[in-house]
Amino acid sequence: MPVYNADAIVLHRILLGETDKIVTLLTREKGKLNAVAKGARRAGSRLSGATELFTHSQMQLAVGKSLDIISQCQVASSFPTLRGDLELLARATYLCELTDRMIEEREPNPEVFDLLLSALYLLQRAQERPDLIVHAYELRLLAERGYMPQLEACVRCGGALQRRQSAFSPSLGGVLCSGCRFSAQDAIALHAETITFLHALASADPETLLALAPSPAAAAETARCLRWYVRYRADRDLKSAEFLDSLRVQASRQHNVSRG
Ligand SMILES: [Zn+2]
């Protein structure tokens, strides 16, 4: 059987039989693909850690009849910080599910691979505001797929945006000026500060990104816009996104209790 090497991140895994797993990998070389990890659930298997969600490994795979087979692997990072914190684990899981949903199989895209790997590393450092990393990744992944939202001018009339009374329409894929803001049923009100913040999320280098400090209003509007826009582009809701919603609601309740 021919073999090949791949730099891989695990996006999804399911159990197969008594001891095996089928994993969905995002590889730098061949894009997204499914592979079998034989014996990965046996105690002491070298494939065990490498086939956990969002682990990054260098793998050797053999080309199989239907699915390729992982023959060797060396874990580069298992991101223990992300596994030890429910807030971070939920976000890393979401990044993987979103990527799995948005990427076609066997279409090599090293940019998306690097984007995801970088987001996982940054998430480990973003204990204060992990959603900065999540939203930056959402925007950049959407841009890679050709779905970058239009933030420069009104998506409907092309007119300039005013400082006040703008909106965002997930189905139109961009911002609406004050004159057009009632023309889309799904329009979400948006402050000028939020549009500036969305621009920063889409383009900031890692250190600048980690240092961003949006107002609570801009953070909430950004979360709302991207939640609906991602759902629109992904064609359905993601399980991990629903779980993240519940964590965010809990966190904001605790925040309000501690303030009030
Ligand atoms: Zn307009």
Scanning the structure block, which residue is given the tokens 């925007």? 139
Dist. CA 160 → ligand 1 center (Å): 8
Backbone angles phi, psi at 171, to 5 degrees: -70, -30
Dist. CA 182 → ligand 1 center (Å): 10
Q: Residues whose CB is under 5 A from ligand 1 (ion)? A: 154, 156-157, 159, 177, 180
Dist. CA 162 → ligand 1 center (Å): 10
The answer to whether the beta carbons of residues 170 and 128 sit under 8 Å apart is: no
Dist. CA 78 → ligand 1 center (Å): 47
**Is residue 147 classed as helix, strand or coil in its secondary structure?**
coil
For the chain, which residues make up each domain, given as ranges? 3-78, 81-259
Dist. CA 174 → ligand 1 center (Å): 11
pLDDT at 127: 74
pLDDT at 260: 56
54 to 157, 167, 187, 194, 196: CA distances (angstroms): 42, 35, 34, 30, 31
Distance of CA 130 to the CA centre of its chain: 12
3.40.50.1820, 2.40.50.140, 3.30.450.40, 1.20.210.10: CATH of 3-78: 2.40.50.140
pLDDT at 70: 97
Dist. CA 159 → ligand 1 center (Å): 5
CATH of domain 81-259: 1.20.1440.120
Distance of CA 105 to the CA centre of its chain: 17
pLDDT in tens, the chain (260 residues): 899 999 999 999 999 999 999 999 999 999 999 999 999 999 899 899 999 999 999 999 999 999 999 999 999 999 999 999 999 999 999 999 999 999 999 999 999 999 999 999 999 999 789 999 999 999 999 999 999 999 999 999 999 988 788 999 999 999 999 999 999 999 999 999 999 999 999 999 999 999 999 999 999 999 999 999 999 999 888 999 999 999 988 888 887 777 65
Closest CA to 19 of 35, 37, 47, 39: 39
- Amino acid making up residue 244: L
Strand runs (DSSP E) across the chain, as ranges? 3-16, 20-27, 31-37, 56-62, 68-77, 166-169, 174-176, 188-190
Dist. CA 157 → ligand 1 center (Å): 4
